[in-house]
Amino acid sequence: MVDLSVKIAGICLKNPVMVASGTFGFAREYSRMFDVNELGAVVTKGITLLPKEGNPPPRLFETTAGLLNSVGLENPGVEGFIRDEWPYLKTLQVPVIVNIAGETVEEYRRITQCLSPLEGISALEVNISCPNVEKGGMAFGRHPDSAYEVVRAVKEQSPFPVIAKLSPNVSDIREIALAVEEAGADAVSLINTILGMAVDVEKKRPVFKRVFAGLSGPAVKPIALRMVYEVYEAVRIPVIGMGGIFSWRDAVEFILAGASAVAVGSAIFSDPVAPLKIIRGLEDYAARNLQTRISDLVGLAHRNAAEF
C-alpha cells in the first residue's frame, strides 16, 4: 500500500493532488459530477474584498495546447463568498484553501480579517500573480519588496497557514520565493498564468479587450516545471507545483522536481475527473517504483541530477 499523504504548511492532505484556483469555482459546481472529497484539497476561485464584475467577453481563447484567460477575477466578494459559498465548502471533508487577491496591501489585510473567523479554512493562498486586473495582482508578484509586503500583511492577520502564489512573469522567481519565505509564507504555489496574447487576424486587433491574458495548460508545463525546480532549491518551505498538469506523468515530474503537492487547473476543463485519474496514476507509479510513501519522491530529481 502506498501512502499518498503529504503535509504542507501544517495541513495534512490525504493525497497531493489539489485543484487550481479559478478552474474549480467553489467546488459545488463539480460536486454535481463527482465526489470532490476524493481530492487532496480544494482551492477556491480568487476572492476580493468587494465583489468584482470581471472583464468583458471574450474571456477565454484557446492556443496550441494552451488556454488564454482574461476572467479578471470575477467573484462575489468576501461577504458574498461567506454568505453563498462557504456554507457548502465547510461541509467538505478535505482541506479548503481560499485564494485571495487585492488591489492594495490594505485590501489583502482586510480580506484576511474578514476570513479569519471562518473555522475550517485550511489555508489562504495569496494571489500576487493575477495578470488580468488593472491594479494589484501580478504587480505585487513581480517585485520581491511588494511580494514581501503583501505576504507579511496577510501573515500578520491570518490565523491560517499562508501560501504565496507566485507569478512566472519574472526574471528570477527564486528572488520572489525567498522574499515571501522571509515574509513568513508557510508554502509557495506556482505558477500562475504566463502573460500572453492572441490577435484576431480577421478583425486585426487583439482578441482580448485588455490585450494581454494569462496562459495556462500543457503548453506552459516545461516552464512551470523549471520554476518549481528552481524554487525548490532556493527555499525551505514546501512548494506546490502547477502549470499544465494533464496526466499523472506530469504530476510525477513536478513531484520529482520538488513539489510536495500539485494542482490541476485547465486540464479539468478537458476532463473534470482528471485530478482523480492523476491520483490513481500516482499511486500506481509509486507502487511500481517500490515507494511506500509518495513524499519520498519529492525533489528526487535534484539528487539524481547531481549524479548524472
Partner 1 sequence: MHQAEIILNEKVAHSIYLLRLRANKVAEGANPGQFLHVKCTKGPHPLLRRPFSIAGAHREEGTADIIYRVVGEGTSILSKKRPGEVLDIMGPLGRGFPLPLPGTLPLIVGGGVGVAPLLFLAKELNKAGLVGRAFLGFSTAREAFGKEIFETCGFSVELTTDDGTHGKRGFPTELLEDYLKSEKKVKAIVYACGPRMLLLKVKEIAVSFGILAYLSLEERMGCGIGACFGCAVKSAKGGYKKVCWDGPVFEAGEVEIW
Ligand X SMILES: Cc1cc2nc3c(=O)[nH]c(=O)nc-3n(C[C@H](O)[C@H](O)[C@H](O)COP(=O)(O)O)c2cc1C
What span, in angstroms and rounded, lies between the C-alpha atoms of 308 and 296?
20
Print the SS3 string covering the chain: CCECCEEECCEEECCCEEECCCCCCCCHHHHCCCCHHHCCEEECCCECCCCECCCCCCCEEEECCEEEECCCCCECHHHHHHHHHHHHHCCCCCCEEEEECCCCHHHHHHHHHHHCCCCCEEEEEEECCCCCCCCCCHHHHCCHHHHHHHHHHHHHHCCCCEEEECCCCCCCHHHHHHHHHHCCCCEEEECCCEEEECEECCCCEECCCCCEEEEECHHHHHHHHHHHHHHHHHCCCCEEEECCCCCHHHHHHHHHHCEEEEEECCHHHHCCCHHHHHHHHHHHHHHHCCCCEHHHHCCHHHHHHHCC
Residue 32 CB, shortest distance to ligand X, in Å, is 19
Residue 262 CB, shortest distance to ligand X, in Å, is 9
Among partner 1, a second copy, ligand X, none, residue 270 binds (CB under 5-8 Å by kind): partner 1
Residue 203 binds a second copy (CB under 8 A): yes
Residue 216 binds ligand X (CB under 6 A): yes
User: Among 14, 45, 142, 155, which residue interacts with ligand X (rule: CB under 6 A)?
Assistant: 45
Residue 99 CB, shortest distance to partner 1, in Å, is 13
Residue 142 binds a second copy (CB under 8 A): yes
Q: In the numeric block, which cell numbers belong to residue 254?
A: 513536478
Active site residue 114: no
Closer CB to a second copy, 136 or 196, in the complex: 196
Catalytic residue, from 8, 27, 130, 194: name it. Answer: 130
Residue 229 binds a second copy (CB under 8 A): yes
User: Among 15, 48, 55, 69, which residue interacts with ligand X (rule: CB under 6 A)?
Assistant: 69
Task: Supply φ then ψ for residue 294, to 5 degrees.
Answer: -60, -30
Residue 217 CB, shortest distance to partner 1, in Å, is 5
Could you list the residues that contact partner 1 (CB under 8 A)?
22-26, 29-30, 32-33, 45, 53-62, 64-67, 69, 71, 74-75, 217-218, 246, 266-273
Closer CB to a second copy, 53 or 171, in the complex: 171
Closer CB to a second copy, 12 or 65, in the complex: 65
Residue 244 binds ligand X (CB under 6 A): yes
The total of other beta-carbon atoms located within 10 Å of residue 199's CB is 12
Residues labelled as active-site residues? 130
Contacts with a second copy by CB under 8 A lie at 63-66, 68, 142, 169-171, 194-199, 201, 203-206, 209, 211-213, 215, 218-223, 225-226, 229, 244, 246, 249, 252-253, 256-257, 285, 289, 297, 300-301, 304-305, 307-308
Contacts with ligand X by CB under 6 A lie at 20-23, 45-46, 67, 69, 71, 73, 99, 127, 130, 165, 192-193, 216-217, 220, 242-245, 264-267
